[in-house]
Amino acid sequence: MSNPTSADVVIVGTGVVGVSIAETLLDAGLSVLMLEAGPRVSRAEVVENFRNLPLALKGDPSSCYPPAAWAPHPMASIETKEDAYLQLSGPDRYAQSYIRYAGGSTWHWAGTCWRLTPEDMRLKTLYGVGRDWAIDYQTLEPYYTRTEYALGICGPSEPAEQWPPLSEGAARSKPYPMPPLPFGPGEQRFTDVVKTLGYSNIPTAQARNSGTSYDDRPACCANNNCVPVCPVGAKYDAATALSRIEAKGAKITANAVAYRLETDGANRVIAVNYFDQNKASHRVTGKLFVLACNGIETPKLLLMSANARNPNGLANSSDQVGRNMMDHPQLTMTLTLAEPYWAGVGPVVNSGIMETSQGAFRSEHAGAYFRFNNFARNRFVTFGALKKGLVGKALDAEIRRMTACTADVVLAHEVLPDPNNRLTLSDKKDWLGLPKPAIHYDVGDYTRKSAEVYSVPIGKRIAQAMGATDIKLSPQFNQSKHIMGGTIMGLDHKDSVVDADCRAYDHDNLFLPGGGAMASTACGNSTITMVSLAFKAADAMVRQMKGA
């Protein structure tokens, strides 16, 4: 069957943002054509890939998603500096991982769904730093709720355990569709310990079925394998939605690498050009266009689409495309403990201390969120046990001891938008001859000061209270793989790429929703905010197509 060549709306990217928009448009009676750079695979294939990996590669969440030659993505565990996909520079490495497969990076996300707070969206007004959003929390709240029901997000009903804290400005319009998952033994002990320091470790809102089926997905069976893949599909991933939206009429073309958008004399987008896996070029047309291929691939595609009328790339009259790249820079404390904690029962991210992300101190330095990493630790400690030269029962006993008596506590920070943190096109090319992304990045003094005077001191107090006999703090910031910025939202077209509906200021039929539009990061995972922005953009598209 030949590939479709036209639709009301053309969407590039089949991750959670793309499929959420697609389903909204299909339900409104519009035709949708989706392009996915990478292949479409089954869950069984990914699980089999993971089972067959050598132990040394199982720690890389991308290892069981080998990239197609035509759709490369970062592979930290095997790529060398010479063949790396991301070309990185600057004081800190913007070393992200993401997947170019149908379903996108939700294949290997943890499912974490912390909302922003009203304060997170008004940093400039309240603290004199960063940027304010073009919309406020009350505007976004209905879309948060819609996302919680669309993805199947479980969370607490007790107000004291909800995030953000309930207040007049942060009231919830509906409860979570499912209750939270119970804490494992390590998390419960961590919760009890930090309470003695005055902190509340609360349940993580997460896109995972708790004790019941939801959206044709089974209940979580606590196998602690959420990253790199949920083998039973209890966790939401966009791949679970692909067949459903096809049944509603969506046309999905995999192995289609978009490389250029065309514009007409009115500077409206009229077509997307893509290469297939045989390097043959194709062209699809539509009335509206959506780039939903994450905060790296979307600005890269806009920059590659430069033409005579848009010499700096599409949507880039403000010169902000590719700028303000953000993430949640994190430090990890690896603790040796006097008593067993036993991480690894339940989801890999199941709770956190969020209250430390808020406060008047944000005029001086970043907030931070603290998380007991609930990964089963056997694979992490095995190499340490082997280095001791142990064999047989002695080796088994040491692995068991270290699995129980070690723990990771993660300190995740916010970062401010900085135009100097910038994605550009490298002169190095990929298999198709397309430029690789080049990214210069510096977490900035705002975040570094937080580590110096705030987050690390708190972390050490927590470690001491946990009974740590040894603390190893990561020597540098690592990235959380929460890609934000690149097509930032704002009220002024002179310093922003998109408006409050994620519509490009320069092209009234081009939408750039998702993490790229976020104007601040807070400290928690960005996915629920990305999807909420997607639903808001989808509603705007329906209004635009129907002439409202």
Amino acid at 120: D
Count helices and strands in the chain by DSSP H and E runs: 12, 16
3-state helix, strand, coil in the chain (%, to 5): 30, 20, 50
Other C-beta atoms lying within 10 Å of the C-beta of residue 269: 26
Distance CA 494, CA 508 (A): 16
Residue 53 CB contacts under 8 Å (≥ 6 apart), including other chains? 63, 64
Q: How many Å apart are CA 298 and CA 514, to the nearest integer?
A: 10
Distance of alpha carbon 321 from alpha carbon 326, whole angstroms: 13
Q: Of 373, 305, 431, 325, which Cα lies nearest the Cα of 37? A: 431
Which stretches of 78-133 are assigned E, i.e. beta strand? 87-89
Task: Kindly name the residue from 282, 482, 493, 507 that is annotated as catalytic.
Answer: 482
SS3 285: strand
Burial of 323 (0-12, 13-18, 19+ CB in 10 A): buried
Which residue has tokens 């940027």?
131
C-alpha 236/C-alpha 155 separation (Å) is: 14
Q: Is 420 helix (H, G, I), strand (E, B) or coil?
A: coil
CB 378 within 8 A of CB 405: no
Helix, strand or coil, per DSSP, at residue 115: coil
The residue written with tokens 């993580």 in the block is: 204
Q: Would you say 428 and 411 are in contact if contact means Cβ atoms under 8 Å apart?
A: no
d(CA 9, CA 288): 5
Instruction: Report the distance separating Cα 207 and Cα 113, nearest Å.
Output: 7
Tell me how far apart the alpha carbons of residues 418 and 136 are, in angstroms, rounded to a whole number: 21
Regarding beta strands 281-291 and 269-275, do their DSSP bridges make them parallel or antiparallel, or are they unpaired?
antiparallel
Cβ neighbours of 59 (radius 10 Å) = 16
Annotated active-site residue 440? The verdict is: no
Six-digit token pair at 222?
């606590």
CA dist 1 → 4, 9, 102 (Å): 9, 21, 19
Cα–Cα distance measured from residue 190 to residue 203, given in angstroms and rounded to the nearest whole number? 12
Q: Tokens 């992304």 label which residue?
A: 437
**Which of the residues are catalytic?**
482
